[in-house]
Amino acid sequence: MKTALTIAGSDSSGGAGIQADLKTFSALGVFGMSVITAITAQNTCGVTAIREMDTDIIKAQIHAVYDDIEVNAVKIGMLSSSAIIKEVAAGIEAYTIPKVVLDTVMISKSGSYLLQKNAVQTLITDLIPKAFVVTPNLHEATALVGFEVVDQPTMQKAAKVIKDMGAECVVIKGGHLEGDACDLLYDGKTMEFFPNKRIQTIHTHGTGCTFSSAIAAGLAKGMDVYNAVAEAKKYVTMAIQHGFPLGKGVGPTNHFFALYEKAGIL
Ligand SMILES: Nc1ncnc2c1ncn2[C@@H]1O[C@H](COP(=O)(O)OP(=O)(O)O)[C@@H](O)[C@H]1O
Ligand SMILES: Cc1ncc(COP(=O)(O)OP(=O)(O)O)c(N)n1
């Protein structure tokens, strides 16, 4: 069985972060493992507290996994601070990890900072050059490139700038576009749009985590980047279609839709 490792923050409500990543890996038939960078007290209405893990325990988790188990792909999510980014970058360096999907998590949909503002530059200098795929949303792409990324032409322009920062491939997520939810993949040669009709729902907690970990699952199974993104797009679309109103706010994506439907749970 292929394996994938998520290096990310914990979401107590289970919709995003480590929890969404592990559910995605399981649903896509990949054995999931985790390195926890931070714990968030979070629910469908927002984030109420954040506790970063000490860098020594982050380092120990990375070494514990890599010293023992072959890792076929890595997804990186919430990193919170420059110190944590540097620790994770050192871990990747130590084990020359090839298939790294870096989801540049900065702010939750509910508006909380999951990456300190002053850490964006460290992300650019220390981690983006080590990534195989970087997956910013429109807001994150704007923070990385320094101009507004709001439509397909500015997505194309931003993808080139982020590629020049040293990433192998760039996927700019269009979940926050006006109109269709259209993502862009740039591999340094071709620009490929992955369009999809916008699903009319408020239950989109964890869409970014789900999408990036589905890309990592595809890469772990040996897909090329184009197929990994295409399959991840299908997966996240289904997971949003089957999202549900958990809690009082923005409900989560649903990872076991086929199973639940068959069992008559949903
Ligand atoms: N309402 C929606 N309908 C269809 N696809 C969506 C919708 N919202 C987000 N997506 C898709 O979910 C994935 C995650 O995108 P996005 O929501 O932009 O990420 P983030 O959670 O990081 O802000 C992308 O593939 C995007 O196109
Ligand atoms: C612990 C943690 N990590 C990442 C996120 C961001 O998740 P994302 O899928 O980008 O979207 P929202 O959950 O913010 O809707 C998070 N919230 N928590």
- The domain spanning residue 239 has which CATH number? 3.40.1190.20
Summarised one tens digit per residue, pLDDT across range 199-251 is 999 999 999 999 999 999 999 999 999 999 999 999 999 999 999 899 999 99
- Encode 143-166: b = buried (16+ Cβ within 10 Å), e = exposed: bbbeeebeebebbeebbeebbebe
pLDDT of residue 260: 81
Which numbered atom of ligand 2 lies nearest the CA of 210? Answer: 9
pLDDT for the residue numbered 106: 98
**Nearest atom of ligand 1 to the alpha carbon of 200:** 1
Give the ligand at the shortest distance from the Cα of 136.
Answer: 1
| For the CA of 16, the nearest ligand | 2
Q: Which atom of ligand 2 is nearest to the CA of 9?
A: 1
Task: Please write the tens of the pLDDT for every residue from 132-191.
Answer: 999 999 999 999 999 999 999 999 999 999 999 999 999 999 999 999 999 999 999 999
- Cα→Cα distances 119→21, 81, 84, 116, 213, Å: 23, 6, 10, 5, 22
Of all protein residues, the one whose alpha carbon is nearest to atom 11 of ligand 2 is 206
Residue range of the domain that includes 144: 3-263
- The answer for 64, left when phi > 0, alpha when psi is -120 to 50, beta otherwise, is alpha
Distance 125 CA to ligand 1 centre (A): 26
Distance between CA atoms of residues 103 and 140, nearest Å: 10
Number of domains the chain is built from: 1
What residues flank ligand 1, with Cβ below 6 Å? 137, 173-176, 181, 183, 196, 198-199, 204, 207-208, 211, 233, 236-237, 240
Single-letter code of the amino acid located at 230? A
Q: Are 50 and 114 in contact (CB under 8 A)?
A: yes
**Band of residue 266 on the pLDDT scale cut at 50, 70, 90:** low
The per-residue pLDDT for range 19-33, each reduced to its tens digit, is 999 999 999 999 999
- Which residue is it, tokens 């939810």? 181
Average pLDDT of the chain is 96
